[in-house]
Structures are given as C-alpha cells and as structure tokens.
Amino acid sequence: MEFLHILILALVQALTEFLPVSSSGHLVLASLFLGWDYQGLAFDLALHFGTLMAVLIYFRADFLALSVELLRWRPGHAFNPMQRLALGLALSTVPAAIVGLAMGEAGANLLRHPLTIGVCLVFFGVLLGFADRRSHGTAAPLATADADFVDGANAVFSKMSLRQAVLIGCAQALALIPGTSRSGVTMTAGLFLGLTRAAAARYSFLMSAPVMVLASAHGLMELLLSEERVIWKDFGLGALISALAGVIVIHGFLKIIRRVGVMPFVIYRVALGVSVLSWYFLTQ
C-alpha cells in the first residue's frame, strides 16, 4: 500500500472510531469515493489494534484500578462500585458479541451500503442530539475543569446499575450497522438512562476496549485461516498512526464534550448523511 493510502485510512479510523460519527461508515465511504479496493484483513486488523492501544494507553489508570478491584473480590461479598463497574463493562460486551456472531461477514457486507449509511447517520445523529437536549435539564452541567469532569463521571459510575450496563450494551450492538457509530449510540443510551455527559462519554470509551479486543481476536482468527500475506511494514505503520492519532482524538473529544456538548457532531452527521443520500439518489 502507498503511504498516503495507509495514512488516510489510519486517520479516518482513529478520528471516527472515537468520535460519534461512525468509523465503519466513514471507512466504506472513503474507499467508495476514492475508488480504493478493500484494504484486506491484515490492514483492517492493524487499524483496530491501533485504536485498541489508544484506549488502553489513555485510560490505563482506569483499567488498572478496575483490574485490581476485580482481583480483590471474594465470593459471598457484595460488589463495591468499582467491581460493579467492571462487571457492567463485561456485560455490556455480550449483546454486541452475540449479534456480531449471528450476523457473520455475509450479513455485515449487506449492510455496507450508501443508503443504509446515510439513513443511519441522520437518524442516530438526531437521536443523539435529542438525548443530549433531554438530559441537559436533569444531568449535571458541563464541568469547568478536567478534574471536575472526571470526578463527575466517577460519581455517576458509583451509582450505575447492572441493568443500565446491559441496556447500553444492547444499544452498542446496533453499531454493527454502518453509519450508526458505537460511541454515538452508547452515549445516546447512557444519556437516555440518566447518565451525565461526562459519565456517558467516559463509559463509552471504557466499554470500547472489550469490544475492540473481541474484534481484534476475530480478525486475527480470520487472518490465520485465510491465505492472505501480511505486509508487516504496512501493518505496523497503520497500527502506529491509528494509535497515536487515537490518543489525540480521545483527549480532544473529552474536552469538546466538557465545553460544548455533542451538537457539533450531530450537525456534522446530519449534513454528511443528507449529502450521502443526495449523492445516492442522484446517481441511480
């Protein structure tokens, strides 16, 4: 692959994986409009691995604390808030895993269509905006400092129920449809369930790690079963760019959420979705 090809796909993956705008939809559209063929299983795996590393690096303290608390739990004892959060993150992964396995690659390919992407960009974008507006009157106001933002999220986490975690996990399964956005639909569900913007955003990022681990493991299994040759230079470069860009995007997104909310992304989604639908119907 040419360097420009690697760079564009890695940046698109990093930007759209963590922003509520749909990574799968943007990757399909990028390849469609630029006339590129599918980049292959190996490079697809590299991009997912890179964004997984970005989440693990940025939230390393959170994942370490969750792991320590899980190891401290003993049968017969009630879960403390951190242990309940860890269990909730695990449960949130189950619906997406079940739906993904049931759908298979054939089902996923059927959904990679401009009409599906355009409709989902608009519909789920408007739904995110509605959830954000609906929660604005009851949720905590935008924090004035990073520490307040994190502390506010942790305060909500201490009261989260396993029922909320499962419902957000069910919403995450919808992200298998291109154009939906995993981060967008999980934030939408969190806001509808009473989470603050801070908690909805951070929980969405934390719950992305288990899903990315499963996606990477599935991709690796498919790669091993295929006869595709791995070009390790392209693999490493794609993973590195998506990881570095991913860390920057996570940091920037949390600052935007803290200061202005999600409306810039809602406007972008609707504008892009309308553009895709217009292009589709005008070219048929």
Query: Crossing angle of helices 3-18/232-260, nearest 10°?
Result: 30
Interval 36-60 mean pLDDT? 86
Interval 138-167 mean pLDDT? 66
CA 248 to chain centroid, in Å, comes to 15
pLDDT on residue 228: 79
Interval 96-101 mean pLDDT? 85
Alpha-carbon gap, residue 99 to 114, rounded angstroms? 22
Contact (CB, 8 A) for 15 and 249: yes
Q: Say if residue 134's pLDDT is above 90.
A: no
What are the Cα distances from residue 89, in Å, to 102, 183, 249? 21, 14, 22
Q: Which amino acid is at 112?
A: R
pLDDT on residue 31: 73
Interval 31-40 mean pLDDT? 72
pLDDT on residue 135: 76
The 8 Å CB, 24+ separation contacts for 28-37 are: 28/112, 28/114, 28/117, 28/178, 29/114, 29/117, 29/276, 32/114, 34/8, 36/5
Lowest mean pLDDT among 26-30, 92-96, 137-141, 181-185: 137-141
Q: Say if residue 98's pLDDT is above 60.
A: yes
Mean pLDDT of the chain: 85
Q: Say if residue 243's pLDDT is above 90.
A: yes
Residue 144 DSSP SS3: coil
Q: How many CB atoms lie within 10 A of CB 55?
A: 25
The fraction of the chain above a pLDDT of 90, given in percent, is 34
Give the tokens for residue 87.
Answer: 């269990």
Q: Say if residue 141's pLDDT is above 60.
A: no
In 3D space, the residue among 10, 15, 9 whose CA is nearest the CA of residue 181 turns out to be: 15
Interval 66-87 mean pLDDT? 85
Number of structural domains in the chain: 1
Q: Say if residue 270's pLDDT is above 90.
A: yes
User: Domain limits at 246?
Assistant: 3-283
Q: Which amino acid is at 105?
A: E
Q: Torsion-angle region of residue 138: left (phi > 0), alpha (psi -120 to 50) or beta?
A: alpha
Read off the pTM: 0.84
Q: Would you place residue 144 in the very low, low, confident or very high pLDDT band (cuts 50, 70, 90)?
A: very low
Q: Would you place residue 184 in the very low, low, confident or very high pLDDT band (cuts 50, 70, 90)?
A: very high
Q: Say if residue 231's pLDDT is above 50.
A: yes
Of these ranges, 12-21, 70-79, 145-154, the one predicted with the greatest mean pLDDT is: 12-21
Please classify residue 60 by burial: count the beta carbons closer than 10 Å to its beta carbon, then call 0-12 exposed, 13-18 middle and 19+ buried. Answer: exposed
Interval 240-250 mean pLDDT? 95
pLDDT on residue 150: 60
